[in-house]
Amino acid sequence: MTLNWKIGGLALGFVFFLAVLLVKPIGVSTQFVIFDGILWNAVDSSVVTQADDGSYTSTNAYLAKSGGKYAKNIANPLNYSFIFALAMVIGGAASAYLRGGIGTDERNMPAIWRANFGDSVIKRYAVAFAAGFVVLYGARLAGGCTSGHMMSGMMQTALSGYIFTAGAFAAAIPTAIILFRKEA
């Protein structure tokens, strides 16, 4: 089911190359901010505003930073990066469907979690929710995630990519060793 690492690694590397060849390096976590902004601006249309010269800004300092580029993407959701994230969902869904899906047990929780913490879906969902909060808070503080910093960053020999990766594994490896003592 899972691709051999030699084929999978080449395929994954080729997609990262294709992105930088044709457009720009891959990154995902910014789109969580853009989606938040789209929702927020839908409720309160004063959040993102356009000036007379066509530039965008926001009442939120984070959305207004870097010349209002986040504000601009919130006002125009049909932009490359946001559609890219939506296309990932389509590609992931099609790929999983074509290999026959993941089964009911896996839909509820991954095997490694069940082996270590039992069948409670509430417990699993609560941890996944809290982890999502910490991951995206961290990714936004870092200015990127596993895609943008670790993969695209180290591929471009960016200093920031190496700093991020050191931090991510320094926390992730001890956490996983402590949490997952039973093999799935």
Partner 1 sequence: MTSILLALIIGGAFGVVLDRTGAANPTLIGKMLNLTNLHLAKTILLAIGTGSVLMFGGQMLGLVDVAHMSVKSAYIGVFVGGLLLGLGWAASGFCPGTSLVGAAAGRKDAWTFIGGGLLGAAAYMATYPGSKDMGLLDKVGGGKVTLGTVPGAKYEGLTMIPGDILGIALGAVFIIVAFMLPERLMKKADVVPAE
- Write out the binding residues for partner 1, residues 153-182 only, by CB under 8 A: 153-173, 175-177, 179-182
Binding residues for partner 1 restricted to 48-77, rule: CB under 8 A: 60-63, 65
| b/e 145-171 (16+ beta carbons within 10 angstroms → b) | bbbbbbbbbeeeebeebeebbeebeee
The two beta strands, 48-50 and 56-58, are: antiparallel
The answer to whether the Cα torsion of 9, 10, 13, 14 is positive or negative is negative
For residues 124 and 114, give the distance between their C-alpha atoms in angstroms, rounded to a whole number: 9
Q: Decide: helix, strand or coil at residue 112.
A: helix
The residue within the footprint of partner 1, chosen from 33, 48, 74, 75 (CB under 8 A), is 33
Q: Measured from the CB of residue 52, what is the shortest distance to partner 1 in angstroms?
A: 26
- The closest of 62, 57, 58, 69 to 136, measured between CA atoms, is 62
Q: Measured from the CB of residue 75, what is the shortest distance to partner 1 in angstroms?
A: 16
Q: Measured from the CB of residue 72, what is the shortest distance to partner 1 in angstroms?
A: 14
The residue within the footprint of partner 1, chosen from 20, 42, 105, 120 (CB under 8 A), is 20
Q: Measured from the CB of residue 113, what is the shortest distance to partner 1 in angstroms?
A: 7
CA atoms within 13 A on the CB side of 69: 7
Closer CB to partner 1, 52 or 100, in the complex: 100
Binding residues for partner 1 restricted to 85-144, rule: CB under 8 A: 85-96, 99, 101-102, 106-113, 115-116, 121, 124-144
Q: Measured from the CB of residue 77, what is the shortest distance to partner 1 in angstroms?
A: 11
Q: Phi and psi for 58 in degrees, rounded to 5?
A: -145, 155
Closer CB to partner 1, 52 or 61, in the complex: 61
Closer CB to partner 1, 52 or 129, in the complex: 129
Closer CB to partner 1, 8 or 50, in the complex: 8
Q: Which helix (H) or strand (E) segment is 56 a member of?
A: strand 56-58
